[in-house]
Structure 1
Amino acid sequence: MTARNRNLSALLAFGFVLAIAGWSYMSGGTVRVLMDGAAGLGDSGQALDALRAALDRWGRLAPVVYVAAVVIEVLVAPIPGTLLYAPAGALFGGLMGGTLSLIGNTIGAAIACGVGSALGEDALARRVEGTKAAQYQDAIRARGLWVVILLRINPLTSSDIVSYVAGAVGVPVWRVALGTFIGMAPLCYAQAYLAEQIFEVLPGAVYVLVVAGLVYVAALVVWLTRK
């Protein structure tokens, strides 16, 4: 597939996702629930209950719908990922919920990277000017995979705009997808396991997860800095 065809595919996928998001919002579906939660309409408990109910209506298709919702969250900035990752643990279990979150993030990052590549560096630079993402452009250009991993590991810098910037500066889609997969794994699984229901059933698992996450991050940072 040529670069032009890849860019066109990314833009078509982006447009399709936005169309689905718009339909879901207008029909009062999952995206509407997420946007209301992001706007602070109602308490967090009500938002989580509403999301569980929205996904539960899909029955066996709930995992597929959930992954699609995560992809939309990645591509549409106002939707907070926290409102998705925690209920995933309650709906699907910690392991499956974290895995579905990770799959959605990886797919979303790949699409965002393709869109960034299609827009080009100049066009995207105007959109991220003055943001944290603008500060990362040189680092992403020089060491794309490793920088994406490090930015994704740190919750303070794990912004979805990183994928757009990486695509705009020429980082291959597979590197952004791999970096997102590795870097987002601790956050996705941690939030899935920390869901309220998991807290009640296996309270001790939280501490094991926290320690394992810290060890994972420390080991990965040491490995990356030796490269």
Structure 2
Amino acid sequence: MKSKLILLGIFIVAILAYLLIEPLNLWVNTSLSVIKEATVDLNLNVMAEYLRSFGSITWVVSFALMVLSCILAPIPAFIITLTNAAVFGWLNGAILSWSSAMVGAVMCFYIARILGRDVVLKIISKQALDKSDEYFQNYGVHTILICRLLPFVSFDLISYAAGLTSMKFSKFFIATGIGQLPATLVYSYFGKNLDGSGKVVFIALLAVFALSIVIYISKSIYEKRKAKQNA
């Protein structure tokens, strides 16, 4: 009960700050608009120029945007990951993207666990949540490992859905960290050669999708062989 009240208090303060502090309101709205433009037009230079405009605190802005994208469905986090690599370099960009995504995932997990399903349904659709519930019932923690690799599966959806299950936080955190790493590395690899065109985004998405298929098939083969050995 205490943790729920604390989280509710944080939400109320955040909403009031957004509504009453004009610079914060402007930053959030502008940032969301830039991310939307970069996603729709597949022009990553828009995102890169926006981040660079913040100078020495660029990494702080990027970190905050990643966390924001994880909480607010359905903002595409991969756009930020690609841009981070272009702005900060492959390794630094990957570290920044992975760590900020992990913070966002943890926040989603605890929002769901503490505030419950009714609050989550105000953020994501009931249909999407019901579908993710089905996956968690059938595949448990493996749902996180696979879905973190799939570019068309909402990052925040899986985090929220996991928080509504009885899954231990430690299992969620480890599975998220492992599952998120390959996608982050692939996006960062392509993002370091950012040329502003949609080609980079398209190739990166295909690479991550292909990687997810390979991992899923390998996992299925391993489980079948293990089942035969135990039979």
1:149 aligns with 2:145: yes
CA distance 1:154–1:120, shift in 2 (3 Å): same
Q: Please name the residue that 1:81 is paired with.
A: 77
Match of 2:48 among 52, 62, 67: 52
Unaligned runs of 5+ in 2: none
Contact 2:83 2:191 in 1 (8 A): yes
Q: Given the two structures, how large is their TM-score scaled by the length of structure 1? A: 0.71
SS in 1 for 2:75: coil
Please say if residues 17 and 72 of structure 1, whose CA atoms lie closer than 8 Å, have aligned partners that are also in contact. no
- TM-score, length of structure 2 as denominator length: 0.70
Question: How far did residue 89 of structure 1 move?
Answer: 1.0
Residue identity matched to 2:33: M
* 1:184 equivalent in alignment to 2:180: yes
Match of 1:65 in 2: 61
Where structure 1 has 5 or more consecutive residues not aligned to the other structure, the ranges are: none
Q: Structure 1 58/222 Cα, relative in aligned 2: closer, same or farther at 3 Å?
A: farther
In structure 2, do the counterparts of structure 1 residues 101 and 8 end up closer, same or farther at CA, with 3 Å as the change threshold? Answer: farther
Amino acid at match of 1:53: E
Matched, 1:162 2:158: yes
Pick aligned residue for 1:98 from 94, 97, 101: 94
How many residues are aligned here?
216
CA distance in 2 between counterparts of 1:127 and 1:55 reads 26
Which one-letter code corresponds to 2:25 in the other structure?
A: M
2:167 to 166, 171, 195: 171
1:161 to 1:149, Cα distance in 2 relative to 1, 3 A = same
CA distance in structure 2 between the aligned counterparts of 1:42 and 1:147, rounded to whole angstroms: 28
Q: Which digits, 9 at most, give the CA deviation of each residue in 1:87-131, with x for residues without a partner?
A: 111111112212211111111111111110122246646875642
Residues 148 and 183, structure 1, Cα contact 8 Å, conserved in 2: yes
Q: CA deviation at 1:63?
A: 1.9
SS at match of 1:153: coil
Q: CA deviation at 1:74?
A: 0.4
The sequence identity of aligned pairs, in percent, is 21
Structure 1 CA distance, aligned partners of 2:12 and 2:60? Answer: 19
Cα offset for 1:224? 7.2
CA distance in 2, matches of 1:189, 1:145: 22
Structure 2 residue identity aligned to 1:113 = F
Cα separation, partners in 2 of 1:55 and 1:145, compared to 1, 3 Å: same
Q: Structure 1: how far apart are the matches of 2:69 and 2:18?
A: 9
Q: CA RMSD in A?
A: 4.0
Q: Establish whether residue 107 from structure 1 lines up as the match of residue 106 from structure 2.
A: no
Take 1:12 and 1:90, find their aligned partners in 2: how far apart are those partners?
A: 37
Q: SS state of the match for residue 89, structure 1?
A: helix
CA distance in 1, matches of 2:172, 2:139: 11
In structure 2, relative to structure 1, the CA distance for the partners of 1:169 and 1:61 (3 Å cut) is same
1:136 partnered with 2:132: yes
Relative distance call for 1:159 and 1:41 in structure 2 (3 A) is closer
1:181-203 CA distance string (max 9 Å, x none): 1112122221121126367xxx9
